[in-house]
Amino acid sequence: MLRSLILVILLFNQITDSRAQSMLGAIGQWREQYNNKSVQHLIKGDKIYGATTHQLFSIDNKNNIEWLGKSTGLNEIGIAAMAWDELEQQLVIAYNNSNIDIIKGDNIYNINDIVLSNLYPNKKINDIKILNQWAFIATNFGIVVLDLKKHEIKDTWFPNNTRQAIVTYQTAITKDSLYAVTEEGLYSAAIKNNWVSINSWNNLKAYQNLGIKKISSNANLVTVYNNNSVFQLPSIQPIFKTTNSNIKHLIIAKDGGILFFSNKSESGTLFKLNADKSTSVLIDSTILGNPMEIVVDENNFWIADSANGLLLKNTTSQWIKLAGPIEYIKGKSSINDKVLLAPFHGNANGFSVFEKSVWKNYTSINSSKLPICIASAIDPKDQSWWFSTPSGLLHFNSNTAILESSTPSNLNGTYTDLQFSTNGNLWVLQDNQGLLQKKDNTWKLFAPPNNFMKSGLNNMIINKQGQAWMIAPKNQGLYIYQSTEKYPTELWKQLTTAKSNGNLPSSNVTCIAEDRDGSIWVGTDNGIGIFNCGDISKEICDASIPRVNNTNKFVGQLFQKEIVNCITVDGANRKWVGTNNGAWLLSSDGLEVIEHFTKDNSPLPSDTLLQIMIDPNEGEVFFNTNTEIVSYRGSATAGVMVQNEIAIYPNPVGPEYNGPIAFRGLVENVIVKITELNGRLVFETRALGGQAIWNGKTYEGKKVASGMYLVFVRDELGNERGVGKVLITSGL
């Protein structure tokens, strides 16, 4: 399968604490927001190529970085091995699932024979070496030979001279021999006319009981090694031995010297083994964490470190801070039109901030180490950041750089969630205690009744009516606390699956969201229920359970028998729903499936969604999965209150552009008309929240001609109006 490659280029001249992976693209485009702290692989080709845990990057001789991932055309994430084909000038990538991509220029060739094969139960790819037009792929069943000119599998070799699977860890090539390190020992075969004869492997029995797992070669020099000893063929006497560390990776330099990493528990050292068998320390353990691979490029040492990232060593040592959060995001993120706050949670201290397409990571502020941050909220008054922690609250004003911590309750219990209500009050959920409210700089605790289970209070929302909706612990449905902000009666209420007392589709509630109409959407492990409740002291508060009949999507109750992990509302009141089966975009009433993204049909790295966040201004949808974060430029944004200038992108529209034309900064749900200069109507649509989309075609589906077109917008009452212009050059 052939795909086109989209390169995302980033200038690399300034090394800072954060950097962008790619700039925000057009509607419908994706970008990865991956954690690239751990660099696993490095090779040298026409550029330096590296692989983090889930993403590929390259660095050219002008210090530009190119990011490559599923959003730029790759077929998978998670790289197991890489090799550079000098003859064809192409990069060979093997993934953890045994799929293979070949990148040649702007094209991507996919070789999926191994991943689709059922011949062997374990198809793991361990290593790739290249000889002329052949790639020798070491797998857990043998050596797969790939023709790099035809981009097809040529053969499979078994170094034990049988057709039985044999785990092959690595291969190495000299001028006249191919070596293979296997689970049964070390084998070699003669190379004649750039080929190896089948069943002509020799077992080098002298190395059989030495625990050899890795091999390296340069010209006719061959070195094999185990955890603590290095051997240079044909000798079986070690030329280097260590007793207190683990030899991680070894290469033979051009001068015949041997470079290798010797790793201890949380540190590593780069040694050079000289011709006289003495060793020199090139980079010590105070710098390296867990070095994995090394590339020597003239006077530069590039080192992949799984603990710290990418190190460049020449006259000095410099860590190259790659893009993305430095930890996986496991806390509850929050977003507005300026920033995305992403607490690390789990076992990691601090948080990440995404602003202007750049991630910045905070593990300490003003020399104060940050605690574990669980949930986040943005104060609408001053845009300051709030975080809940196990022992209290953290407040940081990025404008003044002032960090404050507070403990609003002297009672025991983790502070698990927080949110600002529409009137600006801060609400905090404390496990084992209940709700805390900050009003007029005074804190007050609202404790649930004694018959309510309190252990396990984790998630809540505060709706427009001043009610706090909470997921009840241990599959007990929902708790509602009704304050007196709107209704006269203060009370707590529990909702269950019983009719006239909640009518939930399941008592195992997983998420809650309020839509733009004030409806409460509740996700469970058996679909979705929708609440439209008023004063719960007087009215029955039961969920309506949508019944849909979408071919190949749902028949019956919405997401019946599906675990709904998260629900988020976009600017057009449509619902983004995250499940263990991908991300779904539903119409505002939930009865129509507009999009369904999975890891197989989109750049999603996983089908398990943990949280979905939407930038109200740009319409960018952030998907936090159980592995990484990716984002997608959606078609809806939040509407503005007053119609001012219409933002049009792109404008002018060049002949090479085939995507949607977006009109942003609109009053919510306005009517948009596109006309010729003489007033003839070309197209009419309605905004999705504050954004309208035009495909550059007429009602009849024909591409419009080159020229200037007028854009008119008005709301239903005709009170908010605006006019814009869009230039089409050479047609679409």
Give tens-digit pLDDT for 368-427.
999 999 999 999 999 999 999 999 999 999 889 899 999 999 899 999 999 999 999 999
Q: Do the beta carbons of residue 559 and residue 591 sit within 8 Å? A: no
The one-letter code for the residue type at 3 is R
Instruction: Report the pLDDT value the prediction gives residue 679, as an integer from 0 to 100.
Output: 92
Residue 234 in 3-state DSSP?
coil
Q: How many whole angstroms separate alpha carbon 403 and alpha carbon 314?
A: 38
**Domain assignment of residue 722, yes or no:** yes
In this model, does residue 17 exceed pLDDT 90?
A: no
Sign of CA dihedral 339, 345, 348, 350: positive
Q: How many whole angstroms separate alpha carbon 201 and alpha carbon 190?
A: 8
Indicate the helix (H) or strand (E) that contains 310.
Answer: strand 309-313
Closest to 633 measured CA to CA, from 602, 599, 673, 601: 602
Strands of 459-572, DSSP E = 460-462, 467-471, 478-482, 491-495, 509-514, 520-524, 527-531, 543-544, 547-550, 554-557, 564-569
In this model, does residue 329 exceed pLDDT 70?
A: yes
Q: How many whole angstroms separate alpha carbon 494 and alpha carbon 448?
A: 10
**Domain assignment of residue 68, yes or no:** no
**Confidence class of residue 13 from pLDDT cuts 50, 70 and 90?**
very low
**Domain assignment of residue 463, yes or no:** no
**Domain assignment of residue 556, yes or no:** no
**Domain assignment of residue 690, yes or no:** yes
**Domain assignment of residue 672, yes or no:** yes
Strand partners, 500: none
The DSSP bridge pattern shows strands 134-139 and 125-131 to be antiparallel
How far does CA 143 lie from the centroid of its chain? 32
Q: Do the beta carbons of residue 129 and residue 159 sit within 8 Å? A: no
**Confidence class of residue 183 from pLDDT cuts 50, 70 and 90?**
very high
Instruction: Report the pLDDT value the prediction gives residue 4, as an integer from 0 to 100.
Output: 67
Angle at 366 between CA 363 and CA 368, to 5 degrees: 55
In this model, does residue 436 exceed pLDDT 90?
A: yes
Instruction: Report the pLDDT value the prediction gives residue 11, as an integer from 0 to 100.
Output: 44
Residue 157 in tokens: 């070799």
Strand partners, 550: 554
- Show the domain range for 663: 647-728
The DSSP bridge pattern shows strands 547-550 and 543-544 to be unpaired
Q: What mean pLDDT, rounded, does the chain reach?
A: 92
Q: How many whole angstroms separate alpha carbon 155 and alpha carbon 178?
A: 15
Query: Looking at residue 715, which CATH number applies to its domain?
Result: 2.60.40.4070
**Domain assignment of residue 664, yes or no:** yes
**Domain assignment of residue 659, yes or no:** yes
Residue 206 in 3-state DSSP?
helix
Give tens-digit pLDDT for 601-655.
999 999 999 999 999 999 999 999 999 999 999 999 999 988 889 999 999 999 8
How far does CA 683 lie from the centroid of its chain? 37
**Across 51-58, average pLDDT:** 95
In this model, does residue 124 exceed pLDDT 90?
A: yes
Closest to 358 measured CA to CA, from 14, 638, 62, 7: 14
Q: Give the pTM.
A: 0.92
Residue 411 in tokens: 């009672």
Residue 638 in tokens: 């939040």
Of 548 and 310, which is predicted with more confidence? 310
Angle at 104 between CA 147 and CA 253, to 5 degrees: 80
Least trusted range by pLDDT, from 18-22, 217-221, 249-253: 18-22
Q: How many whole angstroms separate alpha carbon 656 and alpha carbon 398?
A: 41
Quote the percentage of the chain above a pLDDT of 70: 96
**Across 24-49, average pLDDT:** 94
Closest to 147 measured CA to CA, from 90, 200, 192: 90
Residue 113 in 3-state DSSP?
helix
Total domains, the chain: 1
Cβ count near 261 (within 10 Å): 24
Longest distance between any two alpha carbons in the chain, whole Å: 91
In this model, does residue 107 exceed pLDDT 80?
A: yes
**Across 148-157, average pLDDT:** 96
**Confidence class of residue 587 from pLDDT cuts 50, 70 and 90?**
very high
Strands of 21-86, DSSP E = 30-32, 39-44, 48-52, 56-59, 64-68, 79-85
Residue 202 in 3-state DSSP?
strand
